[in-house]
Structure 1
């Protein structure tokens, strides 16, 4: 049996965020920093610069005309959105060399992208939360499973098999067999990497959003995205998703199958383009 912190400690030796991300985070926390300071920090890393410009000029943001410099990107998007975009590309890059033998990595990242897009579409459709922040939180919401399959592959695989056999929730079997679940491990990684306030709370409470405190809306949007993703193969996917969503979440956000269908449609429509953006070789 393992704690979330023990599993994260195993992976931290293999994956870490780049120095440029930490510089950007420090600038965001510094009230005296400027847009130019942030642009200079991003521009110091050629790989991240290329990914940010590719994203800014993609369907994900839809700005008119071509954005050719990081300075213009920061002016258009704002410092917070540039930070979040750098964070998402940095996490994907940090785990690029981590390929657990028992995981289908292409499917994992495609599901992560879909979850991020569904969380983003949910924020827009339901008129709550920051859509761009929700994309990043949704993208990272299942990162706990990547940690678990790397650090405790046999136990994690056994938990998934047991959940499938018993038709039980995965997190319950993970608690019983591994000692913790994917949401707890994801929150522990967010804390270990000192991600912005709210990431750990929202990721950690995605199963039971009411536990997220002031970040309950973010946790609820991830929770909704999870159920939309999980029911993609059902005959009536939106009715199936609604049945899985926490009743308190469904009631507070006035969810119905039409809203879920709208969110699902947006995520499905954007998925291929965004996968090509973050994973050019897989698009």
Structure 2
């Protein structure tokens, strides 16, 4: 884990999230805070307010009437869900300028959104609650690779190439070549940002969810499902074949069943294009 922390420290652009996010976090951490307090904090930042209202009014959320104020958004969605949307929009804006030479950023963020949608859809199917928490976890789950390709691009690419050539798990090769894997680096970044511990635990545990802290195993299992499904979908695998890729423990921990894969895939693919546009309008369509 020390090597992962060293990598994160090496990128100045990622030193901290925008001030407005930390203010939002402070409101949620204060038991005496109200909807009005949260709305006041968000409204001070015009860019975050615009992105929040844009997301809330999208077809993805499917609200019956237009939301034109932050206070109404908070009253409809709830404080936790607004927090999660603010976090997602803050991260998407923060990474806008980063583009490691050896990484296709359009593909990276497209896949990150797919992981987010799969994790959220899976959580919704098992009624896990706090759905946007799973969306944010999925969106951030591969940030470790972005850090790796920024700090150690040659070794990160070498690990990827060797994994493809040999069939060995990528995380094993990353540990050998870089001293840590993408899950550890992602968790170190989340810890540096002082995000909720549950988020970091899920990201850290996504490779082997059964070994994660018991409180966070479902979250980690959803991220494991999202990662494997996204990679397999990119290879044009059929849903039945994708379902066979998972260890039985993933179904036990997540509460899902192999038969759910096709439905999760359909819903995620249906929403993917719109959500990419919502959070990453700067991206050019892949192709």
2:265 aligns with 264
Q: What is the CA-CA distance between 1:234 and the residue it aligns to?
A: 4.7
2:98 aligns with 98
1:14 aligns with 13
Unaligned runs of 5+ in 1: none
Aligned mates of 2:28, 2:2 — CA distance in 1: 35
Q: Could you tell me the TM-score, scaled by structure 2's length? A: 0.94
2:190 aligns with 190
1:101–1:139 CA distance, 2 compared to 1 (3 A): same
1:248–1:35 CA distance, 2 compared to 1 (3 A): same
Give a deviation string over 1:97-120, Cα, whole Å, max 9, x none. 211111100110010001000001
2:114 aligns with 114
Aligned mates of 2:95, 2:234 — CA distance in 1: 28
Q: What is the CA-CA distance between 1:246 and the residue it aligns to?
A: 2.6
* Equivalent residues of 2:8, 2:189 under 8 A apart: yes
* Equivalent residues of 1:118, 1:267 under 8 A apart: yes
1:159–1:22 CA distance, 2 compared to 1 (3 A): same
Unaligned runs of 5+ in 2: none
Q: Give the count of matched residue pairs.
A: 282
Aligned mates of 2:218, 2:257 — CA distance in 1: 17
Aligned mates of 2:126, 2:28 — CA distance in 1: 28
1:42–1:253 CA distance, 2 compared to 1 (3 A): closer
Q: Could you tell me the TM-score, scaled by structure 1's length? A: 0.95
1:231 aligns with 232
1:37–1:130 CA distance, 2 compared to 1 (3 A): closer
Q: What is the CA-CA distance between 1:129 and the residue it aligns to?
A: 4.8
Q: Does 1:59 align with 2:59?
A: yes
1:36–1:102 CA distance, 2 compared to 1 (3 A): same
